[in-house]
A = this chain, B = another copy of it.
């Protein structure tokens, strides 16, 4: 029996919007840790991995693992019937072939219930490419979206190159060639941390965290503060990967797992998710946090709009700054079509992380508070 209550139906709507063009049907794998989804895109070129930790729910209960086979298009339609700020509860009996969605308006007595028919979907066992990447770029998700969209006008593919100079996105086309160079903020340090596959804490905030690695230069970013700690714990717990069970793919992961103890049965949480960022008050502690996690930071639009409420500059920089970490020079070429698709996930979170190593699939990760949406895309061969 699954019963998962989300504080904001909007999050789920955005999540589905982000992946619906890539995936038509997928299993929502529910277990006590949360809900996960993995699928290859329709042409089997890209892999999508979504994780929603139980900590991201206002209430979460899942007695035993159950895969819910869902047609993404149908679920999207049903979710359109929810207002963004409705409280959304997902329910499904152990062997039912339907998923029940209940929308409760926060300030009224409206309660809507929908039943989505489930389907049996072969669990494609997917492996997640897990590697230690040679380069990591953390940037505004809307800027990333803008860049790949712009370049997609010129050509079919983009070469992404990380060097001491920064990160360069370049595309050649019939009528014009173009490239965008992001210099990055601060010195370029070593890659501080991997994506922590299968778990989520990670840079969810915005990647800036890196508490860990000693030598790492990266410093600035972040940090974050207490949150981080908290996060970390949380993340550790969460990191247990369920996917793991299926079998990994080609890539091995490094061990983040060790902390698996999560175990927390925390069933009721009240919105934690947000808390991460919240700090306005505690900012004193560490300023830097990018608050980016979920909603608060929202600002996204970089450009013109600068004046945010927050006022702190950090915010600003957090949202717009580009952080580049690199162990060695990388240069890979990808299909812009997919990157453009991935970049729609910008509505979920204002920061995106790109992890790259030569000849290895690119990982595009949107880590928001209680989970992540990650995309893996193999480079074009012959890329330079």
Partner of A109, one of B81, B150, B153, B183: B183
The B-contacting residues of A in range 180-234, CB under 8 angstroms, are 180-185
Find out whether the CB atom of B80 lies under 8 angstroms from the CB atom of A150. yes
Min CB distance, A114 to chain B, in Å? 4
Most buried by B among A111, A114, A151: A114
Q: Which of A12-20, A170-178, A351-359 contacts B (4 or more CB under 8 A)?
A: A170-178
Q: Does A85 lie at the interface of the complex (its beta carbon under 8 Å from any beta carbon of B)?
A: yes
Q: Is the CB of B176 within 8 A of A111?
A: no
Of B85, B166, B177, B181, which one neighbours A304 at CB under 8 angstroms?
A: B85
CA distance A174 to B119 in the complex (A): 12
Instruction: Kindly identify, within residues 62 to 97 of chain A, every residue whose CB is under 8 Å from any CB belonging to chain B.
Output: 71, 73-74, 77-78, 80-81, 83-85
In the bound complex, do residue B83 and residue A178 qualify as a contact, i.e. CB atoms below 8 Å apart?
A: no
Let me know if B116 and A77 touch, CB within 8 A.
Answer: no
- Docked-complex contact B179 and A113, CB < 8 angstroms: yes
Contact with B along A129-167 (1 / 0, CB 8 A): 000000000000001001000110110000000000010
Q: Is the CB of B109 within 8 A of A175?
A: no
CB A352 to nearest CB in B, in angstroms, measures 15
Contact residues in B for A80 (Cβ distance below 8 Å):
150, 153
Q: Which residue of B lies closest to A78 (CB)?
A: B176
- By the criterion CB–CB under 8 Å, are B153 and A77 in contact? yes
CB distance from A229 to the nearest CB of B (A): 31
CB distance from A365 to the nearest CB of B (A): 21
Q: Do A143 and B113 have beta carbons less than 8 Å apart?
A: no
Known: A77-B154, A77-B176, A166-B109. A85 touches B181 (CB 8 A): no
| Distance from A350 Cβ to chain B, minimum over Cβ atoms (Å) | 15
On whether the beta carbons of B185 and A115 are closer than 8 Å, the reply is no
- Nearest CB of B to A87, in Å: 14
The verdict on A108 contacting chain B, using a C-beta distance below 8 Å, is yes
Is A295 part of the binding interface, using a Cβ–Cβ cutoff of 8 Å?
Answer: no
What is the distance, in angstroms, from A323's C-beta to the closest C-beta of chain B?
11
> Is the beta-carbon distance between B180 and A111 smaller than 8 angstroms?
yes
Query: In the complex, A303→B103 CA distance in Å?
Result: 14
CB distance from A327 to the nearest CB of B (A): 21
Given contacts A77-B153, A303-B85, contact A113 B176 (CB under 8 A): no
Residue numbers in B under 8 Å from A166 (CB-CB): 109
Known contacts A113-B178, A176-B114, A178-B112, A81 near B151 by CB under 8 Å? yes
Q: What is the minimal beta-carbon distance from A71 to any residue of chain B, in angstroms?
A: 6
| A interface with B by C-beta (< 8 Å) | 71, 73-74, 77-78, 80-81, 83-85, 107-117, 143, 146, 150-151, 153-154, 166, 174-185, 302-304, 306, 320, 322
Q: Please list 8 pairs of residues, one from A and one from B, whose beta carbons are closer than 8 Å in the complex, sorted by A's number.
A: A81-B151, A81-B154, A84-B304, A108-B322, A112-B180, A113-B178, A115-B177, A116-B175
Other contacts beyond A74-B176, A110-B182: 8, CB < 8 A = A71-B175, A81-B150, A81-B178, A84-B304, A85-B303, A111-B180, A112-B150, A112-B180
